[in-house]
Every structure is written in C-alpha cells, then in structure tokens.
Amino acid sequence: MAMSDRLLAAWYAGHPALKLLQPLEWLYRRVVTGKRQRFLAGEGEIFQPPVPLIVVGNITVGGTGKTPLILWMIQHCQRCGLRVGVVSRGYGAKPPQLPWQVEAEHSADVAGDEPLLIVQRTGVPLMIDPDRSRAIKALLAAEPLDLILSDDGLQHYRMARDLELVLIDAARGLGNKRCLPAGPLREPVERLQSVDALLYNGATADREDGFAFQLQPLELVNLCSGERRPVDHFPPGQALHAVAGIGNPQRFFTTLETLHWRPVPHAFADHAEYSLEALSFSPSLPVVMTEKDAVKCRAFAADDWWYLAVDAVPSAAFVAWFDTQLMRLLPARLLP
C-alpha cells in the first residue's frame, strides 16, 4: 500500500498517531481560514463573472462523485435551453498553453481525464486553467454562455461565486473531521455551514442537512469498438478485472458486486497514468473500468476492455431546489 493510501486509510479510521500532526494542522487551518476571511472581506483581486457561477466542490481529499453530478447538471441545464460552460483546474493536464479549451478529440494527456470525459459526454464548452478566473474570462470570450459550472474550486477564493454545492461520500463521511495533514479536510468542518447545499453520494434518502444522490449503472461500453451493451451483458458470477483510478476505488468495486459480478480489484491512484503493461493481468478475463479511466486507455485497449457508464441520480427534492436556484439566478426569458 502506498504512503498516500495508508494516510487516507488512517484519516477515515481515526488512527491515534495522527495526533502528532496536530501542530501542522493548526498552521494549515490558520492559512485556509485567513484566505476565506480575506475573501469575505473583499480583499485582494476577486473576479466577479458577468454570468452566474456555480461551484461544485468538496472539503475532503478523495473522490465524492463530482464529475457524475456535474454531468447531470450540464444535461439538466441543456434540457432547459441554457448555454452552460465549465471551468476546471485540469489536474494532470499538459496543454500547450493556458487557458486551454478542451475538445473531444484531444488526448487525456493534454486535456486531463475528467475534463475530457465531460466534453466527450456532453459537448459542453470547457476551459482548463489552474487560475479559474482566467479560465472563465477565456471561456466567455470564446462562447456565449448563460451559466458557468466550476468543477471543484470551492477553495479558489479569487473567484466570486453565486452558489456553492458540496459533495460528501455518504459511506466515508468526513473521516476524523480534522484538517490536513492530520485529517482529510481541506477546510474546517464549520465551512459546511456557509455553503448553499450538501449532497451525499450514496445516500438512499435525503438527510436533515442535505440531499441524496446515487450513481446508477447505465451500460457497458467497449473501449475499442464503442459497442454498447446492457449491464446484464455479463452473467451473474462473471469474474473480471476491475480497474479504478478514482478518489474512492472501493465504491466502483462495490458497484460491480451489486451487479452480481466477481471483480478482481485493481486500485490505482486518482488520475493515474496507464500503460498496456500496467493493465496486463492474469488470468485472462474481461476488464471493466471507470469511464474516467477509459479516456486514458483507448489507444492501447484490448477487445474485451469495457467501461461502466454511470449517471448521477439526485433526489427529487434536490432537482426542485436546483430549479428554484436557476430561476433566482437567471433572467426569466432564459427559462422555459
């Protein structure tokens, strides 16, 4: 197990040795709290976009399902006739210049895995740049838009925002509720009191403090041919190699088990880079991976490699709440 994996496990298990990191945690909390206080006071250069900006983020290290929810929000807004764009840091991307507009034919090396997945799924205009304010300006210069979604960026306090949505893994929660490096939190837990909505990935029902959403398996897609098959394509009990390079790989493996398959788990680091050698497993079995991993593997995929497409399914209460926010943020002429 890598050092990062051991640390992640300790955060969520509440290992007592983490107390040794409390002095560093105190310094970290002081820095991030100071950044937010300066933002609230309007100090420094803060860019206010001319169209509404919705931040979809988290306060924990590790995956919480942001990309599937952003895909749902894009498609929901598009069905309402809205011109929506996305900005992203573009973690792991190596574009020729910044800011960089991602196109569907780009490689994951250039565009980053999550931005490329979003563009290939939805065709939405998407700009990557660690400086999200600069990304927004470039995106608005390139495209006429009604609304912008920020993939992560909750702690990017040079960017004003109209709505903050925070995602939490319903199973793992907030771990030991301590800040880095003594725990998984990017900001103190009190930060959650100031956001507009909490969404719990994997919750079966809305909670008193937030909405539920789940990831619903849709279909299997072949990496080589693009062939689409229903989730009963493999019979119950099918053994297969399961590949996941996401923030919480176990969530993906559990999903495969709920489909009554027998996954042989292969967990990789979030945003891992792959090669044919790294994914050559024994014994010879079909390989099923996440869609985020698939965008990096098509160039060398074998015939029996598939990805499991999933959709976020938020609760009816969240859909109604979100529609209310859109009506508040946007001119009436833009909405049906």
Q: Tens digits of per-residue pLDDT, 68-107?
A: 999 999 999 999 999 999 999 998 899 999 999 999 999 9
Residue 39 CB partners (closer than 8 Å, separation 6+): 46, 157
pTM, entire model: 0.94
Residue 186 above 80 pLDDT?
yes
Place of tokens 């955060």: 11
Backbone angles phi, psi at 59, to 5 degrees: -110, 5
Cβ(119)–Cβ(111) under 8 Å? Answer: yes
pLDDT in tens, 231-283: 999 999 999 999 999 988 999 999 999 999 999 999 998 888 999 999 999 99
- pLDDT computed for residue 1 by the predictor: 47
| E strand or H helix at 190 | none
Q: Where are the alpha helices (DSSP H) in 156-313?
A: 249-258, 291-294
| E strand or H helix at 66 | helix 66-79
Q: What share of the chain is helix, strand, coil (3-state, %, to 5)?
A: 35, 25, 40
- pLDDT computed for residue 51 by the predictor: 96
Distance CA 239, CA 219 (A): 17
- Residue 331 — pLDDT band, cuts 50, 70, 90? confident
Distance CA 3, CA 103 (A): 35
What whole-number percentage of the chain has pLDDT above 70?
Answer: 98
Distance CA 72, CA 36 (A): 29
- pLDDT computed for residue 17 by the predictor: 86
As a whole number, the mean pLDDT across the chain is: 94
What whole-number percentage of the chain has pLDDT above 90?
Answer: 87
- pLDDT computed for residue 2 by the predictor: 57
Cβ(330)–Cβ(147) under 8 Å? Answer: yes
Residue 6 above 90 pLDDT?
no
